[in-house]
Chain A
Amino acid sequence: MLDLVLQALQTLFTPEHFSYLMLGVMLGLVVGVFPGLGGIAGLSLLLPFLYGMDEVSALATLIGLVAVIPTSATFTSVLMGIPGSSSSQATVLDGFALAKKGQASRALGAAFSSSLLGGLFGAIILTFFVQVARPVILIFGSAELFMLAIFGLSMVGSLSGNSIVKGVIACGFGLLVGSIGAAPATGEFRMIFGVNYLYDGLPLVVIALSIFAFPEISELFRKETAIASGEGAELGKGGWFTGVKDMLKNKWLALRCAGLGTIVGAIPGMGGSVVDWIAYGHVVQTSKDKSNFGKGDIRGVIAPESANNAKEGGALMPTLLFGIPGSGSMAVFLGGMVLIGIEAGPSMVTTDIDLTYTIIWSLAIANVLGAGLSLFLAGPISRLTRIKFSLLAPFMIMVISFAAFQATKDMIDLWMLLIFGVIGIFMKRFGWSRPAFLIGFVLATQAESYLNMSVQFYGWEMFLRPGVLIILALSLISVYFSRKGTVDENAELMEKSAGSNFRLLPQILFGGFILIFIIIAIFDSYQQSFLGGVFPLVIALTMLPFGVYLMWIFFKGNTSNAAIFDAEQVAEPGTFKATWYEPIAWIGGLYVLSSIIGFIPAIILFMISFFTLKAKTGWLKTAILTFAGVGLLMLFSHFLNLQFPQGIINF
């Protein structure tokens, strides 16, 4: 085996292979920076060139590209609070919090060095694992996959916030929103309210952007400061090298999470979107001092980032050995492999094992290159966080809108971004756990379809399977540890505000909205066949008493209860310079305008008005900034062959 690995490394370091790998890495970094695009856009850029290349170079470019997407996605996650890809959502929690404290380059340093270590360690695990991967992957039947979804959900315990009731409802709300669309077991359409867009369910990209990025943008908009200006912003302290040292201090954590990422990534059907949350839950559960999580604990960056790069390596296993892609970018990778003429299948561990090793180690080296380059950029790019936010805001709004639109290329993508963005704003304001919601959303389909399958395959005997019992035990342990403390970004504010007087009406209205949604879900489920409706029905019926209990707490109005919280009313007077609906009105206005005259003309008008009115820039600066923004967007989409929303009036 060792000689095979050495041989693979030899191929890898031939100048030709290496330079194509480098090319792929560069492309991946550029494309990956744009949130929500990732591998798919990269592939369409790459495809026309793949044909001219020989097998080895084409493969190297492809791997370079796929490997670094989770790396460069970290930039927006940390610097702007915009989840760059489905596997760097958890990074936002502490990464962005650090950026707000002025420690962006420290966070990036830790993130990239974790990516580097994770990618390398993942490759080492895979080198051995590949020999036994086929039988191991086959152990995970539908019953085990269902239990893994439950294990993922158990992480909610550590992320639910100080109020368990609200944490549970947030997760249940996520599960219900995630079950909108075609029922896995029957194909019936649930809760689509006559909107064709909802047939396929809501896209994860849109939900992640609206729940995490939208509220942050809105808050910064209202504070009218730079990103890095939170309390105790130690601007000088914490360069990227501090971050690297942080990673080295927590090297065992990084290695554990890399192992975790590799294994979860290798299980087909789990999907990469929960890996980062599992890693994040793991670090919270195993840390003694949990008080800083969600407020800028460097470990909260190290854990998900070392897991998400290792995950891509793990996801190679089902892709190569079974021809079944283990993640979204792997699907694209598999498509590329087919075009090059490499056939995935059982032969990848027998006759073609050398090729497999070349792929695994190319991925690892690409990770090193990608993370290394990103480390260099970490310092300079971090300065973005010092820019006055009103200058940055239009760009961020443009980026999230464009990214959301790439989800299904439908104007409704933008409307959903706005709707769930407003929900996200209120969740943040009233202290509802957004991670709990997102985990529920991500795992809804998985939990439901695997439950349906395993009940039909095994009946109740599924709970006698050893794999199921082991994962069940792990889930219980995870719940046990989560009882010892949970992440709440508002914990400090909450202490300060306990006992003070609140106007409760806003909270009651939002709680009431969620309660109504739960009731609608119950009614909708009754209209489906048994298999089609049973899952959302059970979730909704479980949520109902929690929802009613919450309303009772609200009406009782004892403000020392952790469930009662309103960031708006406990904030220092003068924190917010604009009303809560002003950012919503700006963004909503942009979308209304887009649907009339198209996105590009609308964003032109938006930028000019925003810079002039909010940033108070003069003629020249307004013109330059608008030109830069729109020009960059058009250039990018021209090369990637991407589209914009078109208006009713089409020019």
Chain B
Amino acid sequence: MNTPKIIQISVLSLVFLAAFFLLSFLQKEESIADQASDAVDISSIQIDDDYFAGKTIEWVIPFKEGGGSDTWARFNAQFLSKYIPGNPTVVISNIPGGGSIKGSNLFADRVKPDGMMILGTSGSTQLPYLLDDPRVRYDYAKYKPIWTYPTGGVVYVSPDLGIKDATEIAKIKDVPLIYASQGPTSLDLVPNLSFELLGLNVKTVFGFRGRGAGRLAFERGEVKIDYQTSSAYLKNVVPLVEAGDAVPLWSWGILDDNGELARDPSFPDLPHFGEVYEIMHGKKGEGIEYDSWFATMAAGFGGMKLVLVPKETPDKIVEMLQLAISEMKKDPEYNEKKQKAIGLYEQVIGEKAIKIFDLATNIDKAEKEWCKQFLRDKYDLNI
């Protein structure tokens, strides 16, 4: 290497790097959000209706493009952008990995209380947190909800079993069944606990990629019992039910205004799990087993999707975002397309959202231990 070359490299590098840093510096200059973070004290910044104008809100979705969470977020994002005062751009940032743990951890590391980054979780984000998965670095106690979105699910069986609804559940008590599952600590914890509580003789086979693969195994006749979340059930299982190839038994139910389990309005004719428990055992669900089930159900379905910001985020920012949600719900285009795109349930804001958030992200210590014991005993899993 000779001197002219060294000079060429140094000079060109200096010029290019200077240009690059100038460019990124200019971009930063425009952003009040970054000032806020640098100043740490967000309260000193005046937040008015122009706060979001010209800004970009990054919505972290810890799942792949094209999945349920992604579709839900993308559908909502366009309306958010329309109704948040100042019309910010809302971009979906997919960070999949570790069943949503990776993206949520990343959010925890990076988020600032300025409303410019929000997180959309799902049941499979809540459950590992509740069960103390060592990989989890996010802490729900540090967040507050902007809104929540519940979903439901329906358990159905093959007509081969010879029962026509849940009232005859006792008949299949001892029939050996197989359930096709994604994994012991996935959202399938809820159905697995359900089968256990009812005393059904169900063996679980893991390794299925998604509920769709489980449904396919049901259609192939490899498994006789399965569940699907509400929208998948309506699209793909209802035709089977109509053709006589599947028999619906119960839904998970929903959390009503008091946080109690109630029938799912999407499936008013189906009993919820609590009712089936009563049919099977002749008494209302209670005790540690039932409470543990309820805690996982609330985390997995009742409060399946939570949209979160740090606790310190000024109320005004959260209000602006929530305003957008209530405006969005009045939009005829939203209402027309909603059911097909994301399903039947309503985006929940306000007091009820906070109640659902609390139910979905808290678990009693004894219940937690009971769940872990269940996983140890049943699947030889140490967590």
Contact = CB atoms under 8 A, between A and B. Distances in A.
A526 interface: no
Contacts of A339: 71, 74-75, 341
Given A335-B70, A335-B71, 15 more contacts: A140-B220, A269-B209, A322-B215, A323-B232, A323-B236, A345-B235, A345-B236, A346-B239, A408-B96, A452-B207, A457-B205, A601-B17, A613-B5, A623-B12, A626-B16
A234 interface: no
10 contacts: A44-B92, A182-B183, A187-B184, A269-B209, A334-B66, A345-B235, A346-B240, A618-B8, A623-B12, A623-B15
Contact of A184 (B74, B185, B207): B207
A452 B178 CA distance: 13
Contacts of A482: none
Nearest to B336: A341
- Which 4 A-B pairs rank lowest in CB-CB distance, beginning with the nearest? A335-B66, A184-B207, A449-B207, A331-B66
Given A199-B97, A323-B232, A457-B205, A604 B17 contact: yes
A211 B206 CA distance: 31
B24 interface: yes
B65 A335 contact: yes
Interface string B62-88: 001111001100110010000000000
Nearest to A650: B24
A324 B212 contact: yes
B380 interface: yes
A613 B219 contact: no
A408 B105 CA distance: 14
B66 A186 contact: no
A408 B102 CA distance: 10
Interface residues of B, number: 62
B178 A456 contact: yes
B interface, by DSSP: helix, strand, loop or mixed? helix
B1 interface: yes
Contacts of A334: 66
Interface string A186-200: 110000000010011
Contacts of B200: none
B230 to A, nearest CB: 13
A338 B71 contact: yes
Interface in B81-108: 91-92, 95-98, 102
Given A332-B65, A613-B5, A142 B222 contact: yes
Contact of B67 (A184, A331, A347, A453): A331
A141 B219 CA distance: 10
A344 B92 CA distance: 24
A185 B206 contact: yes
A641 interface: yes
B66 A408 contact: no
Contacts of B15: 623
Interface string B41-73: 000000000000000000000001111001100
Nearest to A44: B65
A612 B9 contact: yes
Contact of A43 (B65, B178, B203): B65
A347 B239 contact: yes
Contacts of A325: 66
B183 to A, nearest CB: 5
B71 A186 contact: no
Contact of A457 (B210, B222, B379): B222
B262 to A, nearest CB: 27
Nearest to B242: A346
B190 to A, nearest CB: 16
Given A186-B381, A339-B74, A346 B236 contact: yes
A127 to B, nearest CB: 23
Nearest to A618: B8
Contact of B66 (A43, A601, A622): A43
A456 B16 contact: no
B100 to A, nearest CB: 11
A409 interface: yes
Nearest to B90: A48
B205 A619 contact: no
Contact of B220 (A43, A138, A347): A138
Contacts of A219: none
B39 to A, nearest CB: 18
B340 interface: yes
Given A142-B222, A331-B64, A341-B337, A626 B12 contact: yes
A4 interface: no
Given A345-B235, A612-B9, A196 B16 contact: no
Contacts of A186: 184, 206, 379-381
Which of A199, A200, A346, A622 lies at the interface centre, i.e. has the most chain B CB atoms within 10 A of its CB? A346
B217 interface: yes
Interface string B6-20: 001100110111001
Contacts of B75: 339
A147 B71 CA distance: 34
A47 interface: yes
B206 A605 contact: no
Contacts of B91: 641
B193 to A, nearest CB: 16
A51 B333 CA distance: 10
